[in-house]
Structure 1
Amino acid sequence: MEFKIDESSMEYAEKLEKEKDWTNALVAYKNILLIKPEDIKIIEKIGWCYSRLEQYHKAIEAFKELITREPKKAKWDYMVGYQYYSMKEWNIAIEFFRTSLTKYPNYFIVKYRLGYALTQTSGKIQRLKSPNYLEAFKLFSECELLWNKMSDVEKNREKQHYADICFQKSKILLERSDWDGSINSIRKSIDIDKNNPDYSYILSKALCSKGEYEEALKVIPNGNKYYINELRAEIYSKLNDVDRAIDLYTRLLKTRDRDYLHRLLGEEYIKKNDLPNAFINIQKSIKLNPKNHKNYFAMGKLYYVAGLLILAKSELEKAIMIKQNEYNCDYIEANDLLNEINNEIQLKNVENDDINILKKLKKNIVSDIIKGKVKKYVSERGFGFIKDREKEFYFHISDVYQTHQKNVCEGADVTFSIQESTKGPVAKQIKVVANL
């Protein structure tokens, strides 16, 4: 039966597209194209359906066909670029976006997409100096100027893109330490979409950076995403709510064993003068990432507080050297503390550290990972005992990695480490394993 194009066929295809039934919409538009092979609108629809189905290379073929048919139209270069953008092939996307802008310099959405793609190709180290990052900021600012000239109808159509542009600009301003600029920019995003947790997060982060900790705590979004809880812990730390900060960092470490979290937890323990636990965590941060200058700076501060001036000096010198080698810049805070320590060493004529102080710091050091079996577990109270070849060790469910807690039962094989406590050796860092 021959397929005949009529008004109802087009309405049916558009209905499927509106319902986001991309597969059947694609079939319908392809059938229409058989009858009207020169119809640019239908080729565009086919390209869009392919794009929504994540068949990006087929979408690219469709939009490149449109470039050959309408070479002066900026939209088609943008649409090809958008497919590469969706695949995170940023450099190719950038090429097509730039070509689109040569044909239509004030293309709002293309400036935004180009800006975002440039942020993704700016690297992570010293990216504020990256030409791509600087250009991205310029493009976002140009988008704001275009927005201010739009009619109400145009603004309503582009408002979500504008909110995202202000969001991206706010993040750059935050990295530049322009707290007020960042806050003003992200508030524009929130005016459009007050329920977006990413916008609230950036506002909270900017307020925290500015020193408005109570306000930052008020606007931080709910949720259990790790970066939200990390920011919440930072705010508690700034408010000197040390116990809450320690609780959050401890919970985060059960699922994210990161050097910076150990360091931050260690610094909270320093505030409580719990130097042995501070030492455990800062030492772990160095073990996890021996190239991070901040970890050695933290250890230097810990040794200084403990009165171990020679060791403090050594750690600070390591921190200064690493930052100089990695970033080619001075470590001002570490240099200031090092000068203070050198003066104190000379004043007190210190030649060696007190070995007994160091022993006290190391009293809670955990053992290497060993193997054992859960001998007893009282699930309703969350504690039990693990037995290795010779001894039994008390454990609490909070010391089992979160993803392993559901598998804890009597007879379960586990790996764990041993830590000294006021009640004797206990099991820590517990993982349930299938077979030992």
Structure 2
Amino acid sequence: MRNALSVMGRLVGIILACLLIEPIWQEGFFATAVLLVCIVAFCATSLVVTHLEMLRRVQRREPSIVHPPDREKLRNRALLDHAPVPLLFQRADGTLHAANRAARRLFETDGPILVPPEPLLAALENNMSGPEKKMIRLTPPLGGKPHVYALSIGQGGGAVGIVTYIALTDVEASLNAAEAQALRDLLQILSHEIMNSLTPIVSLSATAEELFSEDTTEDTKPLISDALATIRRRANGLDRFVRGYRDLARLPAPELKPVNLGELLQETARLFRARWTGRVELQLDLPSVRTIVRLDKAQMEQALLNLLNNGAEAALAQPSPFVQIAVEERSGSISIVVRDNGHGVTPEQRERIFQPFVSFKPNGNGIGLSLARQIVLGHGGTLILDEAKLEMNSPWSTSFRCQL
């Protein structure tokens, strides 16, 4: 405001001086006219100087006291500190350091972790890579509730002395929710299957008891025989269900050994034909070269046999039922494919086909496909219902792909 009034006053002075110079000069006051000219020149010069100073101030930039490399470090540090996942790094000397605020809060340190938790050290020493080995349970150093963390490990390459990067994702809440849902689903399935068997057993047992309490006649003997036969069938069904559940729950870790894949398929085919010869035809497509894979032969044989039996049962409704087991190689990976010419799988069934105890067959127990999938997952592979469109005029309606 002050500068604006000063500039305005000088402009007014220049205008007035310019208006007075000519009359004063004509009146003969030459000295006064020259003085006014000097005043005008001075005011004009001061205005120009003031304008240049204002321009200089507007264009001037204060020099940054933070050098560009330091600015980059500060920016990266701020980003790391705002990450909710605890981040660590390990130096070449083996020491672990907290890399962000979440890690410093978890381990109660501002730099190196003096006493790293044993589960974390074991994970780093064993270089855990399997999906089932990436979960570790950590307890805060000052006490508190332990939490389960998903562990992600990356190699640092030795840059600035860092050899390993570690990220810890808290999955305790997710696991608790998943376990609770799994328990509810399991109890619902168990209660459903057990009640389906126990209800007719109890009812028929009461009927048989009443018949036995009366005088046995030729008319009551068939009724007693039918009741006992039904009880035996339902009891056998319940026994099969419990055995299947036990097999699924007690599946041991696979003992991986080198196995000739062609010999494994031939042995599986012999077991299949011993049951289905004369009813379902099996097409065997062996690998063209000798292929050795590391797997548990007994477990994988059981998984493949379950897939073949499932395909055979689905194909029985066809006039010429047949199944196929083949080996395919794609991008360096080996897949075992089991196909059948049955009625196929509906989109609704695809979502539940691998769920335990879920079966879409009249007398199925829902164990075969689930057990096969658990075996393949235990080997680090995948078992999927192949959704790729079959070729034109292909006889196959269903295809399970086991990728090792």
Question: Same fold per TM (> 0.5)?
Answer: no
| Rg comparison, structure with higher value | 2
- Normalized against structure 1, the TM-score is what? 0.23
* Greater fraction of residues in helix: 1
TM-score (norm 2): 0.24
Task: Choose between structure 1 and 2: higher strand proportion.
Answer: 2
